[in-house]
Amino acid sequence: MDTARLFRLDGRVALITGGSRGIGRMIAEGFIAQGAKVYITSRKVADCEATASELGENCIALPHDISTVEGCRSLAALLAEREERLDILVNNAGAAWGVPFEEFDEQGWDKVMDLNLKSPFFLTQALHGLLKAAGSAQQPAKVINISSIDGQRLNPWDTYSYHASKAGLIYLTKRMAARLIRDFINVTSIAPGAFASRMNKAARDHGDQVAKAIPAGRIGSDEDMAAAAIYLASRAGDYVVGETITVDGGLVNAALGSSIDPDV
């Protein structure tokens, strides 16, 4: 058993949406360190190109807006001009919207649901041919959806469409996995907890305070996120299908709830 290469990604081609910052960038950096050629995409051209420059020659910027079905298909066409196959797709691009229940509007609902739930489906559909070209029984292609612990538990904020989109993405992962496994494409999901990013400003700006509620006693690091993604993308994760891996320091599955003392 050659365990030295279980987590290597040499020669593989990856596409990471929302790859210019936050969790997407963490994953991109990890994939590159393991030998992959990584395309990153985001709608902000300058950010995308700056990150690609910082991560080196094996990181290629492919700026694009994938908030619509047309955008997903257009990005797939651009990638097909450059590559004959796609080994790994990470559906990471996302949005959040927090407004009190009484004021929550259709714009906030649609923006979040479109990018967080609809785009992962239609981008995967648009890239199906390239993923099939990469997949085999010996080395399946991989689709990794970045969901959230907010799809598994409630947070205290008024993020109604975010909760719904991430819960939906976890179940969509299972349904897509059931269909795409026949094409040697494994679909899985990662549900991150508190990682410092523009989207998670609480973890970014108040990490020590946020850490007090986490059983592990800290927020997530870049390495924590990269490691989970590398595991699923590499040979190490080839027998994992349809699963959501929760990477949150124990908040969902190892945190004790509070109770009322009956003697009080």
Q: Which residues are catalytic?
A: 162
Q: Which of 131, 218, 214, 112 is nearest to 169 (CA)?
A: 112
176 and 144 Cβ atoms separated by less than 8 Å: no
Q: Which of 177, 16, 14 is nearest to 85 (CA)?
A: 14
| CB contact at 8 A, 19 and 40 | yes
Angle between helices 45-55 and 22-33 (to 10 degrees): 30
CA 80 to CA 62: how far, in whole Å?
Answer: 12
- Token representation of residue 147: 């969901």
Residues in a beta bridge with 40: 16, 61
DSSP 195-263: B-SSS-HHHHHSHHHHHTTSTTSSPBPHHHHHHHHHHHHSGGGTT--S-EEEESTTTTTS-PPP---TT
Stated as kind and residue range, the H or E segment containing 128 is helix 128-134
The CA distance from 228 to 166, in Å, is: 18
Asked whether 81 and 107 are in contact (CB, 8 A), the reply is no
Q: Name the amino acid, one letter, at 75.
A: L
